[in-house]
Amino acid sequence: MNQPTIEKLHALRLSAMANALTAQLRQPEFDAMPFSERLALLVDIQHSEMLTTALELRLRRAGMRQSAYMENLDLRTPRGLDRSTMQTLASGLWIRQHRNVLISGAAGIGKSWIACALGNQAARDGVSVLYKRLSRLLDELAIARLNGRQARLLKTLARTRLLILDDWAMVKLTADQRRDLMEVIDDRHDRGSTIVATQIPQDSWHFQIGDPTYADAILDRLVHNAYRLELKGKSMRGDVTRPAAENPAVDKIDEQSK
């Protein structure tokens, strides 16, 4: 009598519950448990499986450059990171407030790593995330415009709760790129959060954007409510002893801040 039930659970795409029920039927000790407790166990297993699958999908769609995690953030190496600020960012409150994060510093100091760590944390908190190098995103928008799909892509970008733009303003923008970037930033203003990571100092962003009017409009929407992480110090690359964490000297973010 149990086999039809198990088959129906599979048909309903409740495979985790079906497998758990099969396991229960093979273990006589479950017979002594009240029905409500057995059912609760099955529901918990299915719910956990659904959460795991949803997280995997969010991470796959995000396309993060690195598998970085806030709990592995190195706060011991001097580079201008404030513990209190990083705890606030780890909590995710800034995303709910539609604030931004601007990360600047020399090559190899950990800008992309921190951006991806914040992205991974957001994904684990149930937030939709998308990671893009700015140049690649602008190329995709240009191609979408030629194919008549730009409006759809802009809508997707606007709906993404956290957009990570790496290698920001590395080259001077063309007129079309300025307009496309303005569309992206304006659509997201007070509706989503954006992380910018770049080697270019902020006082050079106007020049890189290329047009004073566009630059003022873009930066006003991006900068005024942003957390600024200005990293300084030596490059953190080339250390083969740090396979999982950002650095061997790891200071974990206070779990109570999450």
Q: What is the DSSP letter of 253?
A: P
Q: Which two tokens mark 96?
A: 């709910």
The confidence score (pLDDT) of residue 257 equals: 39
Greatest C-alpha distance within the chain: 75
Backbone phi, then psi, for 2, in 5-degree steps? -80, -25
DSSP per-residue string spanning 84-130:
HHHHHHHHTHHHHTT-EEEEE-STTSSHHHHHHHHHHHHHHTT--EE
By CB atoms closer than 10 A (0-12, 13-18, 19+), residue 169 is: buried
Domain architecture of the chain: domains with CATH: 2-60 (no CATH), 63-257 (3.40.50.300)
Question: For all residues of the chain together, what is the average pLDDT?
Answer: 89
| Single-letter residue type at 90 | A
| Single-letter residue type at 177 | Q
Nearest Cα neighbor of 132 from 206, 188, 86 is 188
Spell out the residues 6+ positions from residue 192 whose beta carbon is closer than 8 angstroms to its own.
98, 158, 159, 160, 161, 162, 163
Our CA dihedral for 151, 155, 158, 161, rounded to 10 degrees, sits at -150
**CA–CA dist 131, 113 (Å, integer):** 12
Residue 251: count other Cβ atoms within 10 Å of its Cβ.
17
pLDDT along the chain (258 residues), means of 10: 87 92 89 90 92 89 92 90 94 97 94 96 96 97 96 96 96 96 96 96 94 96 95 74 43 43
Q: What is the DSSP letter of 31?
A: G
The confidence score (pLDDT) of residue 242 equals: 43
Residue 214, SS3?
helix
